[in-house]
Amino acid sequence: MNFSGKTAIVTGGSRGIGRAVCLELARGGANVVLCYAGNEEAARATAAECEALGASVLTVKCDVSDSAQVKTLVDSAITACGRVDILVNNAGITRDGLLMTMKEEDFDAVAATNLKGTFLCMKAVARQMMRQRYGRIVNLSSVVGVRGNAGQVNYAASKAGVIGMTKSLAKELASRGVTVNAIAPGFIETDMTAAMPEAAKTATLASIPMGRLGQAEDVARAIAFLAAEESGYITGQVLCVDGGMAM
């Protein structure tokens, strides 16, 4: 995909899927605005990798659940690059536990980052994209938001909510040349899945028709497809990148 002259904001861009997305867009020639929550070392490392691919990179520390910080993120991108063409809402957290023992603050924390954060970032870029009459918003949902998962009521609710927001905003912005789509990854080999107990990993693999965990690059390539200029007639869709889990 050719992203020359395009500016992309990627939240949660320092590690895992976010890192892979930054690299994929940088490889295509995009200017990358890498948003990270706290791991500055990882953010700098990813930025250096993107720069080695020839990309111009701006790193911005931002808590996506804070509207003032999100505004600063988007304003910084516009000041540095003049426009925002692509937003990838990748930032997300988990606070797993069965409903009966789940703490209210764990529900609130997951909803604040995964759901509210996505809302705030979309709202912050929407006016600029409408003014440009061009934009690509790609939100990270999850297969858990499509089919649910025991022990993840909060995460499932947040990711299902992302799908609802995606479809609603797609209808609002379609006439302005702005597309809004969602990616629903399955179990992807990241730091998050590495922490799973072995029994849980074995059970998970048994539920995947392809018989393997996905790679961050699998998701990044799908995101790049939806972020590309050539995908301009696709909006309001949810693309599962899950090895067949959600079939």
* 3-state class (DSSP) for residue 137: strand
d(CA 126, CA 20): 24
Residues contacting 120, CB < 8 A, separation 6+: 64, 65, 66, 67, 70
Where along the chain do its domains lie? 7-241
The architecture that CATH gives domain 7-241 is 3-Layer(aba) Sandwich (3.40)
| pLDDT of res. 13 | 97
For the whole model, what pTM was predicted? 0.96
pLDDT, the chain, mean: 96
Range list of β-strands (E), the chain: 7-11, 31-36, 57-61, 86-89, 135-140, 178-185, 238-241
Name the token pair of 228. Answer: 């590309």
Low-confidence ranges of the chain (pLDDT < 70): 192, 195
| pLDDT of res. 22 | 98
| pLDDT of res. 203 | 84
Catalytic residues: 155
| pLDDT of res. 135 | 98
